[in-house]
């Protein structure tokens, strides 16, 4: 097990190096605004652009720039400085992380609380009216893009522009430590919007898994033991049907921790996702590079955690 984890961690490093290199290459080969020109003001002259270029290190060959960057990350955990704000990227990301974590964890709680019970009930009452309704509704929730759902939510329910004033509107995000009440209120609508498609997807996934599991021989054994149906479903059925969900959950959290770009942008939440968006808009390579690396890091770590967790969930799996 330990050897397995070490081997996987080494692969994580390899993967992150590859991801950062690919981001570098993409940034330089694809047409994008010249970062130096963007910063040279309204009437740029070649000398000014050249000096900005020199200051940002953009006049060096790309492999030199990449080498400097990697050296900085490994030796000093330094992700460079934002072209736009001249701040350390590391600090910028760490400042943005609490908002992203708040959004992700809150939404996860919502989608699990909704998705799992709905999935179980639909499976147990499969083909009933309730099942047909929830599965129809879930199809809608999966199909609705999150930015559309977010805008509609704001248009209908936001305090400022909404038809009915229920939730705090866009751009009201407050830190948890600053004011827990405002924090909760400002994130409620984003949580619901972000969780909608996930809840629907989890409900459908659990439903189909559970229906399949409930026809297994060991479920018949559990019933023949004289267990209550409730126990048969929850302890025997769901126990098996939930395992694929754990995998998906790990990956989803990893992805969202890297930034829920659309949700954060629609609701103007200062998270990592919106930082990435701003970086792209401003051709701010260090910020793009930093957020991409962070996202990749969360995803591969989530992957690793899921794989290790699987050994605990399913006793048949052993790593060597």
216 in contact with other proteins (CB under 8 A): yes
50 in contact with other proteins (CB under 8 A): no
Candidates 2-10, 61-69, 137-145, 215-223 — which segment interacts with other proteins by CB under 8 A?
215-223
Q: How far is CA 194 from the centre of its chain?
A: 10
212 in contact with other proteins (CB under 8 A): no
What gap in Å lies between CA 183 and CA 302, rounded to an integer? 26
223 in contact with other proteins (CB under 8 A): yes
- One residue of 45, 55, 87, 221 binding other proteins per CB under 8 A: 221
315 in contact with other proteins (CB under 8 A): yes
217 in contact with other proteins (CB under 8 A): yes
What gap in Å lies between CA 192 and CA 190, rounded to an integer? 5
* Interacting positions 118-147 with other proteins (CB under 8 A): none
Three-state DSSP string of 169-232:
CCCCCCCCCCCHHHHHHHHHHHHHHHHHHHHHHHHHHHHHHHHHHCCCHHHHHHHHCCCCHHHH
Q: How many C-beta atoms surround the C-beta of residue 117 within 10 A?
A: 12
Q: How many C-beta atoms surround the C-beta of residue 68 within 10 A?
A: 13
Contacts 24+ apart (CB under 8 A), 143-146: 144/196, 144/197, 145/262, 146/193, 146/194, 146/196, 146/197, 146/260, 146/262, 146/263, 146/266
Q: How far is the CB of 16 from other proteins (least distance, A)?
A: 34
226 in contact with other proteins (CB under 8 A): yes
Q: How many C-beta atoms surround the C-beta of residue 317 within 10 A?
A: 11
Q: How far is the CB of 206 from other proteins (least distance, A)?
A: 16
- The smaller minimum CB distance to other proteins, of residues 110 and 222, is found at 222
236 in contact with other proteins (CB under 8 A): yes
Q: How far is the CB of 287 from other proteins (least distance, A)?
A: 45
Candidates 45-53, 109-117, 257-265, 309-317 — which segment interacts with other proteins by CB under 8 A?
309-317
Candidates 33-41, 178-186, 235-243, 303-311 — which segment interacts with other proteins by CB under 8 A?
235-243
SS3 126: coil
Sites of contact with other proteins (CB under 8 A): 216-218, 220-228, 236, 239-240, 313-316
């Amino acid at each position: 097990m330990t050897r397995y984890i070490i081997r996987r961690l080494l692969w994580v490093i390899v993967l992150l190096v590859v991801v950062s290199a690919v981001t570098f290459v993409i940034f330089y080969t694809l047409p994008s605004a010249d970062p130096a020109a963007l910063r040279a003001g309204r009437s740029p002259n070649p000398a000014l652009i050249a000096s900005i270029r020199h200051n940002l290190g953009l006049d060096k060959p790309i492999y030199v720039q990449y080498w400097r960057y990697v050296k900085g990350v490994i030796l000093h955990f330094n992700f460079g400085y934002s072209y736009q704000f001249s701040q350390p990227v590391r600090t910028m990301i760490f400042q943005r992380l609490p908002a992203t974590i708040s959004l992700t964890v809150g939404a996860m709680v919502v989608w699990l609380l909704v998705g799992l019970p709905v999935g179980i009930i639909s499976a147990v009452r499969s083909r009933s009216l309730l099942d047909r309704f929830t599965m129809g509704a879930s199809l809608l929730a999966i199909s609705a893009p999150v930015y559309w759902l977010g805008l509609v939510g704001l248009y209908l329910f936001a305090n400022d522009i909404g038809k009915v004033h229920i939730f705090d509107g866009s751009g009201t995000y407050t830190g948890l430590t600053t004011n827990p009440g405002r924090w909760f209120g400002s994130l409620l609508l984003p949580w619901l919007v972000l969780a909608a498609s996930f809840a629907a997807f989890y409900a459908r996934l659990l439903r189909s898994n559970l229906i399949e599991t409930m026809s297994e021989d060991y479920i018949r054994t559990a019933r023949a033991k004289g267990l209550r149906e409730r126990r048969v479903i929850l302890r025997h059925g769901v126990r098996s049907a939930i395992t694929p969900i754990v995998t998906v959950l790990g990956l989803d959290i990893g992805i969202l921790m890297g930034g829920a770009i659309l949700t954060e942008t629609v609701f103007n939440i200062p998270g990592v996702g919106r930082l990435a968006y701003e970086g792209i808009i401003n051709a701010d390579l260090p910020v793009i590079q930093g957020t991409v690396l962070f996202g990749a890091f969360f995803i591969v770590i989530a992957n690793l955690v899921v794989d290790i967790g699987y050994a605990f969930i399913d006793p048949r799996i052993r790593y060597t």
